[in-house]
Structure 1
Amino acid sequence: MELDRESPLGPQPCCRDSASQKMHYYRYSNAKVSCWYKYLLFSYNIIFWLAGVVFLGVGLWAWSEKGVLSDLTKVTRMHGIDPVVLVLMVGVVMFTLGFAGCVGALRENICLLNFFCGTIVLIFFLELAVAVLAFLFQDWVRDRFREFFESNIKSYRDDIDLQNLIDSLQKANQCCGAYGPEDWDLNVYFNCSGASYSREKCGVPFSCCVPDPAQKVVNTQCGYDVRIQLKSKWDESIFTKGCIQALESWLPRNIYIVAGVFIAISLLQAVLVHLNQV
């Protein structure tokens, strides 16, 4: 049975002869990608791919600095979440999608383009599902965030990246702990119990302190012994609002920004899917 070379429905056999090898491959005559769309899709994805390389590089460098690459079991021994894991996960997804999009566009590989398109669509619906579920089950989300924050408070001194993440969150939102400064009693270093001999006993991290405009250098000891004082005097030196309350009040004030970011991401995904289909 011979293949019809002119038929758009069947594969057209092609071959290349050389002194050392003969290579056969098939190409469908209707599987073509517009030149303009091909290079536009490639341009989108090369940026995506390079961003994935950067994320992977930063994540691996951070793990190397913490000695995780030489002992991967450290990942399983961490009590809180390691922010580097999230960076690496994002990097892997971006690298894989960028590679599939670049190679699929340049080589006109329909399988890679379909994989790229399907993954983008799946990510979009996952984002939509997360947004809807977070809106419908706000109490559940609040409880999970409290558990997440409290578990990471316990591991505050165990991982420098986690420590920086919590400090950034508390400084940016002018908050302290999940529901208040008392949550820092969960950490062995800041605990007020008699069994604690830490210098930070009954204190809070410096990121909980109300900044002094007169000070040009950050005082990392400003939270020492703060919780020994009367509770009515806490607000003179530290933030007393919990970070959950701060985030709940931040979202309504910035709802248009959040919606704009979501719409921009959705439009970018729609453009990529459209370029993949033409």
Structure 2
Amino acid sequence: MDPAVVLVAVGVVMFFITFCGCVGALRENIRLLRAFTLCLTMVFLTQLFIGVLGFFYSDQTHDALGKFVKKAIVHYRDDLDLQNLLDYIQKEAVINTMCGFGVQAESHSEAHKFIYPAGCADGAVLWIQSHLVLVGALTLVLSLPQIAGVVLSQILITQIQDEIGSVL
């Protein structure tokens, strides 16, 4: 699947969710706020489900990622979007110390110390496994805005319903 199509689809979904939240809060529209709450809850649960599946099926996830990377390398020159995605990942997401960054500047006697028989993906998996507490804490911190959005929208819905009930 083309990465541009995936990014556009994700952008459309994000626009819909934020539109429901913004307009629902501004106009005090309970239906839009409920749609916002439902969508945000579904996104959170989907992320949680994918994370749990990735954890329990880590071997299959690692194999699928390896197959994707190999397929992407084969078709590197065929798709400009895929080429740009791989270039970006290699420039920005690869931890420099894992792939022998700067080894060519070293002398031959020093360079042999930095030869890595394992690939970057294996190094990343080992790093994540050895820092599971940090990864879990980071995941929790990144999920807090979603949880706060659900809770605050529910509070706003309750306040609007109380206000409507007090008028009647």
TM-score, length-scaled by structure 1: 0.46
Query: For 1:114-133, what aligned pairs fall within 5 Å after superposition?
Result: 114-133=34-53
Partner of 1:276: 153
CA distance 1:148–1:115, change in 2 (3 Å): same
CA distance 1:88–1:121, change in 2 (3 Å): same
Q: 2:121 aligned with 1:241, yes or no?
A: no
Deviation at 1:116, TM superposition (A): 0.5
Which one has a bigger Cα radius of gyration?
1
3-state SS of paired residue (1:114): helix
Deviation at 1:209, TM superposition (A): 7.7
Partner of 2:11: 91
Deviations 1:191-246 (A, max 9, x none): xxxxxxxxxxxxxxxxx7853448xxxxxxxxxxxxxxxxxxxx799865323312
One-letter code aligned to 1:261: L
Measure, in 1, the Cα distance between the counterparts of 2:22 and 2:35: 12
- Is 1:173–1:246's contact at 8 Å kept on the other side of the alignment? no
3-state SS of paired residue (2:47): helix
- Is 1:209–1:237's contact at 8 Å kept on the other side of the alignment? yes
Q: How many residues align?
A: 147
Measure, in 1, the Cα distance between the counterparts of 2:6 and 2:75: 17
CA distance 1:248–1:259, change in 2 (3 Å): same
Partner of 2:159: none
Measure, in 2, the Cα distance between the counterparts of 1:138 and 1:237: 28
Between 1 and 2, higher relative CO (CA 8 Å, sep ≥ 6) is seen in 2
**Greater helix percent: which structure?**
2
One-letter code aligned to 1:154: V
Deviation at 1:257, TM superposition (A): 3.9
**Greater strand percent: which structure?**
1
CA distance 1:159–1:86, change in 2 (3 Å): same
Partner of 1:229: none
- Is 1:100–1:113's contact at 8 Å kept on the other side of the alignment? yes
CA distance 1:271–1:210, change in 2 (3 Å): closer
Deviation at 1:121, TM superposition (A): 0.9
3-state SS of paired residue (1:241): coil
One-letter code aligned to 1:276: S
Partner of 1:144: 64
Q: Percent same amino acid among aligned pairs? A: 38
One-letter code aligned to 1:150: K
Query: For 1:35-114, what aligned pairs fall within 5 Å after superposition?
Result: 81-114=1-34
Q: 2:141 aligned with 1:264, yes or no?
A: yes
Deviation at 1:170, TM superposition (A): 4.2
Higher deviation after alignment, 160-169 or 266-275? 160-169
- Is 1:175–1:243's contact at 8 Å kept on the other side of the alignment? no
One-letter code aligned to 1:268: P
One-letter code aligned to 1:110: I
One-letter code aligned to 2:137: G
Measure, in 2, the Cα distance between the counterparts of 1:167 and 1:175: 18
Deviations 1:95-134 (A, max 9, x none): 1111110111111111111110001111111111111111
Query: For 1:19-30, what aligned pairs fall within 5 Å after superposition?
Result: none
